[in-house]
C-alpha cells in the first residue's frame, strides 16, 4: 500500500515529541523529593534512558513510580501521559490529559486525546471544543479539522462538516486528505451524488492510494454497477498486485454482492483520520507522533484493517520486532490481512533469534496453501539468511513454477535463486538464473555485479564480465559492496594497483565491513604496503567477520599472505 509522502512542513509537528524526549523535568520546588532522594533520581534517569531507547513499557513503569514520589510535578505528568499514549495505554493516559489541560489550556496532544475520547463517547460538541482549543500547525490544523468534520456527521449535519473541510487552507498535500474524508462523510450520510464526485476525485488524484480507491469502488458497487467497481479495482491491481483487501472485495463483487461504505460512523471516521495521518508521519520520520496517532486510531477501532499492520510496520522500522510480533498476533483471524500478518510475524520471530519457530510458522502457512507466494518467498529468504542454500533454491523454485510469464517484477526471484544455487555449488543453474534475471531487468546493478564477478572468479567471459561490473558501479557509484566487487575483480586479475584504488574507495563507503577491509589488506600486501595490510587485517578481525573467515584473517596477521591463489586467466589461456 502506498502512503502519500509529504514535504518539510511535517517537521513542525515533530517539535512536541522532540521536546518530550529531550527536556529534563524542572526541579524548581524545594519540597520536591526528586532533589534529595537518590532512588527517585535513579528512576528518573532510568525513565529518560528508556524513553531515548524507545522502550515505552519501561518508561511508563518508571514514570508511574516517579509520579507517586512527586505527584505535583506537571512535567512528569506530561512525560507519563505521552509515554502511555505511545505504549497504547490510552485509557490510563486520559486522566493525565485532564490534568495537563488545566496547566496548559491549549496542550495539543492532551486536547487531541480528550477529543478522541469524546468521539468514542458520542459527545461530539465536547470533541469539537477540545479540538478548537488545541495548539495549531500544519498537522494540527488538518487533524482538528478532519476530526471536527466527522463529529458534524454525528451531530446530524454532514454538509457542515464537508464545508469545514473545504474552508481549510494549507499545503498542497492537504488535498488528498480533504477529498477523501469529504467523500467518506457524504457516503456515510447517504448523500450519493456528491459522495461519488469527491471519492472519484480522491481516487484519481493518486490511483495507488488503497483507501481512496477502495472507497470509490465501494460507492460504485452501490450506485453504478459491479463492472465499474471491478474496473477501478483492476486499475489498482496493475499498480499494486494482489492486495488482500482488494482481492476480498473483488470476490464479494463476483459473488453478486454490493459493498458497504468504507466508513459508516463518526468513530470509524475519526479512526481513519488518525490512521491515515499516523501512517504518513511514520513514513516521514515522525515515529513518536505516528505512534500516538496509530494507538488512538486502534483505541477507537481495534479491528481497523490497516492501522494494526501499520503500527507493526512502524515497530519494525524502529527495530522493535518483539512489539511488532505482539501487534501481528492481534490481527483478527477473519481479516483478509491475517495471512500477511502471519508472514510478517514469522520474519520478526527470526529477527529475535527464533529461527525454528519462524520456519515452523511459515511451513504451516505453505502447507495450508501451497500457492501462498508471500509465505514461500519469506521462507526462501529465511533459508537464504541461514545459509540453507539447497532449501532456499528449492523454495524459490516453487514460487517461480507458479509464474506463467515472468516479467520485470519477478527478477528478484531468479536473482536470489541464482545466489542460492551458486552458494550450493550448482553453477550451471545459478548462471541460468542470473542470466534470466538480467533478461527481465537488463540494467539491474546487483545482477550485473553478481554475474560479472562470478565470471571473473572463474576466468570466464572476462571482457564482458568486467564491463558488467563497471556498469554496475556506474549505476551505483556509492554502493560500497559493488565498488568492492570491482576492486576484488581487479585483484583476481592481478591488477593490484587498480585493486587498491577501488578497494580504498569501497572502504570509505563501507568502513565497518570486515570483508572489504580484509580485501584491502590483501591488495596492500600485493603492492608492498605490508604495514598497512596488517592494519587492515587487524581492523577486519575486530569487526566480527564470519566464523569461516576469522581463521584466515588471523593466519595472515601471523605470517602474511602466503596461500594466495594465482591471478585468474581467460579460460582459453588456462587450457594452453
CB burial of 388-417 (b: ≥16 within 10 Å; e: otherwise) equals bbebbbebbbbbbeeeeeeeeebbbbbbbb
**Burial label, 350 (beta-carbon count in 10 A; 0-12, 13-18, 19+):** buried
What is the torsion angle, in degrees rounded to the nearest 10, for the CA atoms of residue 399, residue 402, residue 407 and residue 408? -10
Q: Rounded to an integer, what distance in angstroms lies between the CA atom of residue 15 and that of residue 286? A: 10
Q: Rounded to an integer, what distance in angstroms lies between the CA atom of residue 287 and that of residue 87? A: 13
Q: What pLDDT was estimated at residue 137?
A: 85
Band (pLDDT 50/70/90 cuts) for residue 136 is confident
Residue 404 DSSP code: S
Residue 39 pLDDT > 60? no
Q: What pLDDT was estimated at residue 69?
A: 66
What mean pLDDT do residues 139-152 have? 96
Q: What pLDDT was estimated at residue 401?
A: 96
Task: Give the whole-number percent of the chain exceeding pLDDT 90.
Answer: 80
Residue 571 pLDDT > 80? no
The CA-based diameter of the chain, rounded to the nearest angstrom, is 92
Q: Which residues contact 425 (CB under 8 A, 6 or more apart)?
A: none
Q: What pLDDT was estimated at residue 12?
A: 28
Contact call for residues 529 and 521 (beta carbons, < 8 A) = no
Residue 9 DSSP code: T
Residue 25 pLDDT > 80? no
Grid cell in block for residue 486: 570491482
Q: Give the SS3 label for residue 441.
A: coil
When the candidates are 3.40.640.10, 3.40.630.30, 1.10.150.300, 1.25.40.10, the CATH number that belongs to 10-254 is 1.25.40.10
What mean pLDDT do residues 408-419 have? 97
Residue 239 pLDDT > 90? yes
Q: Rounded to an integer, what distance in angstroms lies between the CA atom of residue 153 and that of residue 150? A: 5
Residue 23 pLDDT > 50? no
Residue 2 pLDDT > 70? no
What mean pLDDT do residues 525-551 have? 95
Helices (H), 9-73: 10-13, 15-22, 38-52, 56-69
Q: Rounded to an integer, what distance in angstroms lies between the CA atom of residue 561 and that of residue 555? A: 8
> Nearest-CA neighbor of 10 among 171, 130, 168, 158?
171
What mean pLDDT do residues 16-39 have? 37
**Rounded to the nearest 5°, which phi and psi values hold at 369?**
-145, 90
Least confident range of 114-118, 317-321, 428-432, 568-572: 568-572
Higher pLDDT, 19 or 483: 483
What mean pLDDT do residues 138-157 have? 96
Contact call for residues 80 and 64 (beta carbons, < 8 A) = yes
Q: At what angle do helices 38-52 and 15-22 cross, to 10 degrees?
A: 140
Q: What pLDDT was estimated at residue 495?
A: 96
Least confident range of 56-65, 73-82, 86-95, 234-243: 56-65
**Domain residue spans of the chain:** 10-254, 354-442, 444-576
**Rounded to the nearest 5°, which phi and psi values hold at 282?**
-60, -35
Grid cell in block for residue 485: 566487487
Domains 10-254 and 444-576 alike in fold: yes
Contact call for residues 406 and 436 (beta carbons, < 8 A) = yes
- pLDDT tens-place string over residues 250-307: 999 999 999 999 999 999 999 999 999 999 999 888 899 999 999 999 999 999 989 9
Least confident range of 1-15, 312-326, 463-477: 1-15
Q: What pLDDT was estimated at residue 14?
A: 32
Residue 265 DSSP code: S
Band (pLDDT 50/70/90 cuts) for residue 555 is very high
- pLDDT tens-place string over residues 364-391: 999 999 999 999 999 999 999 999 999 9
Q: pTM score, two decimals?
A: 0.82
335: left (phi over 0), alpha (psi -120 to 50) or beta: beta
Contact call for residues 105 and 73 (beta carbons, < 8 A) = no
Grid cell in block for residue 268: 470509524
Question: Using H for helix, E for strand and C for coil, what is the string for 286-354?
Answer: CHHHHHHHHHHHHHHCCCCCCHHHHHHHHHHHCCCHHHHHHHHHCCCCCCCCHHHHHHHHHHHHHHCCC
Q: Rounded to an integer, what distance in angstroms lies between the CA atom of residue 371 and that of residue 486? A: 39
Q: What pLDDT was estimated at residue 354?
A: 97
- pLDDT tens-place string over residues 40-55: 545 555 555 555 556 6
Task: Give the whole-number percent of the chain exceeding pLDDT 70.
Answer: 87
Band (pLDDT 50/70/90 cuts) for residue 38 is very low
Grid cell in block for residue 12: 513542525
Least confident range of 116-125, 151-160, 212-221, 277-286: 277-286
What mean pLDDT do residues 308-324 have? 95
Q: What pLDDT was estimated at residue 529?
A: 96
Beta-carbon count within 10 A of 378 CB:
23
Higher pLDDT, 134 or 435: 435
Band (pLDDT 50/70/90 cuts) for residue 566 is confident
CATH superfamily of this structure's domain 444-576: Tetratricopeptide repeat domain (1.25.40.10)
- Domain 354-442 part of CATH 1.25.40.10: yes
Task: Provide the mean pLDDT of the chain.
Answer: 88
Band (pLDDT 50/70/90 cuts) for residue 32 is very low
Q: What pLDDT was estimated at residue 43?
A: 52
Amino acid at each position: 500500500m502506498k502512503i502519500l509522502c509529504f514535504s518539510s512542513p511535517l517537521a513542525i509537528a515533530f517539535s512536541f515529541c522532540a521536546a518530550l524526549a529531550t527536556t529534563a523535568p524542572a526541579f524548581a520546588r524545594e519540597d520536591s523529593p526528586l532533589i534529595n532522594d537518590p532512588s527517585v533520581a535513579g528512576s528518573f534517569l532510568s525513565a529518560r534512558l528508556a524513553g531515548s531507547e524507545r522502550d515505552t513499557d519501561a518508561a511508563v513503569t518508571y514514570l508511574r513510580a516517579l509520579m507517586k514520589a512527586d505527584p505535583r510535578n506537571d512535567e512528569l505528568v506530561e512525560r507519563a501521559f505521552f509515554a502511555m499514549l505511545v505504549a497504547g495505554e490510552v485509557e490510563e493516559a486520559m486522566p493525565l490529559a485532564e490534568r495537563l489541560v488545566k496547566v496548559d489550556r491549549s496542550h495539543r496532544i492532551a486536547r487531541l486525546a480528550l477529543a478522541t475520547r469524546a468521539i468514542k463517547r458520542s459527545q461530539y460538541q465536547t470533541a469539537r471544543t477540545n479540538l478548537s482549543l488545541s495548539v495549531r500547525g500544519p498537522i494540527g490544523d488538518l487533524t482538528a479539522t478532519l476530526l471536527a468534520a466527522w463529529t458534524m456527521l454525528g451531530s446530524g449535519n454532514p454538509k457542515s462538516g464537508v464545508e469545514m473541510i473545504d474552508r481549510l487552507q494549507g499545503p498542497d498535500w492537504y488535498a488528498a486528505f480533504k477529498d477523501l474524508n469529504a467523500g467518506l462523510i457524504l457516503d456515510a450520510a447517504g448523500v450519493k451524488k456528491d459522495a461519488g464526485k469527491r471519492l472519484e476525485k480522491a481516487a484519481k488524484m493518486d490511483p495507488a492510494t488503497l483507501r481512496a480507491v477502495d472507497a470509490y469502488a465501494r460507492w460504485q458497487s452501490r450506485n453504478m454497477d459491479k463492472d465499474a467497481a471491478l474496473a477501478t479495482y483492476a486499475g489498482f491491481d496493475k499498480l499494486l498486485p494482489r492486495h488482500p483487501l482488494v482481492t476480498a472485495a473483488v470476490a464479494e463483487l463476483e459473488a453478486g454482492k454490493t459493498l458497504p461504505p468504507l466508513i459508516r460512523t463518526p468513530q470509524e471516521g475519526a479512526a481513519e483520520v488518525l490512521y491515515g495521518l499516523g501512517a504518513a508521519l511514520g513514513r516521514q520520520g515522525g515515529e513518536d507522533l505516528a505512534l500516538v496517532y496509530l494507538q488512538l486510531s486502534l483505541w477507537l477501532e481495534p479491528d481497523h484493517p490497516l492501522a494494526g499492520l501499520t503500527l507493526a510496520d512502524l515497530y519494525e522500522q524502529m527495530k522493535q520486532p518483539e512489539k511488532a510480533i505482539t501487534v501481528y498476533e492481534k490481527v483478527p483471524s477473519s481479516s483478509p490481512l491475517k495471512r500477511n500478518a502471519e508472514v510478517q510475524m514469522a520474519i520478526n520471530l527470526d529477527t529475535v533469534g527464533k529461527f525454528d519457530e519462524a520456519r515452523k510458522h511459515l511451513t504451516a502457512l505453505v502447507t495450508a496453501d501451497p500457492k501462498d507466494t508471500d509465505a514461500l518467498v519469506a521462507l526462501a529468504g529465511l533459508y537464504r539468511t541461514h545459509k540453507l542454500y539447497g532449501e532456499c533454491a528449492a523454495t524459490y523454485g516453487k514460487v517461480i513454477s507458479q509464474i506463467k510469464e515472468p516479467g520485470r517484477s519477478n527478477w528478484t526471484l531468479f536473482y536470489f535463486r541464482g545466489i542460492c544455487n551458486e552458494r550450493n555449488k550448482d553453477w550451471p543453474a545459478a548462471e541460468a538464473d542470473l542470466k534470466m534475471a538480467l533478461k527481465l531487468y537488463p540494467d539491474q546493478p546487483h545482477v550485473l555485479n553478481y554475474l560479472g564477478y562470478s565470471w571473473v572468479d572463474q576466468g570466464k567471459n572476462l571482457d564482458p564480465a568486467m564491463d558488467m561490473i563497471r556498469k554496475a558501479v556506474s549505476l551505483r557509484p556509492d554502493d560500497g559492496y559493488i565498488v568492492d566487487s570491482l576492486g576484488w575483480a581487479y585483484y583476481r586479475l592481478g591488477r593490484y594497483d587498480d585493486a587498491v584504488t577501488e578497494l580504498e574507495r569501497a572502504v570509505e563507503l563501507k568502513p565497518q565491513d570486515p570483508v572489504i577491509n580484509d580485501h584491502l589488506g590483501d591488495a596492500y600486501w600485493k603492492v608492498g604496503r605490508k604495514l598497512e595490510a596488517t592494519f587492515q587485517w587487524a581492523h577486519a578481525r575486530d569487526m566480527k567477520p564470519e566464523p569461516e573467515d576469522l581463521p584466515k584473517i588471523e593466519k595472515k596477521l601471523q605470517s602474511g599472505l602466503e596461500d594466495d591463489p594465482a591471478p585468474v586467466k581467460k579460460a582459453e589461456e588456462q587450457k594452453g
